[in-house]
Amino acid sequence: MAKVLIVDDAAFMRISIKNMLTKNGYEVVGEAENGKVGVEKFKELNPDIVTMDITMPEMSGLDALKEIIQTDSSAKVVMVSAMGQEAMVRDAIISGAKGFIVKPFKEEGIVAAIKKLG
């Protein structure tokens, strides 16, 4: 099953996503609290899939996505956004994101989005 890195500034969101994914057979290999740490962990852990919050301190998810794609153009990054962030989601897709999940999400939604990527 795919190895996943979870990047979100809210600890409860990381725990929530981790629980949903591990329950469905995914291996969560790491977590990061902002985009900067997310990029470092991506390089260190080489996950199959990254869930990336868009709005975070220090480095946004969009900037982190761009840096990850520069490092590995085939990286599979799924953006996690709040309602009303359509413009940012569009920018993320253009920048190389492979999908997106809108908060609040249900377990089936996040698992389906991850499953699409392999």
User: For residue 15, what pLDDT is reported?
Assistant: 97
Q: Domain with 8 in it: what CATH number? A: 3.40.50.2300
Over range 16-24, report the average pLDDT: 97
What is the tally of structural domains in the chain? 1
Looking at the predicted structure, is the pLDDT value of residue 86 above 90?
no
Closest CA to 42 of 61, 23, 22, 17: 61
Q: 76, 50 in Cβ contact below 8 A?
A: yes
Q: Which two tokens stand for residue 35?
A: 């985009």
Task: Specify the pTM.
Answer: 0.94
* pLDDT single digits (tens) 26-78: 999 999 999 999 999 999 999 999 999 999 999 999 999 999 999 999 999 99
The range of the structural domain enclosing residue 14 comes to 3-116
**In which element (H, E) is residue 51 found?**
strand 49-53
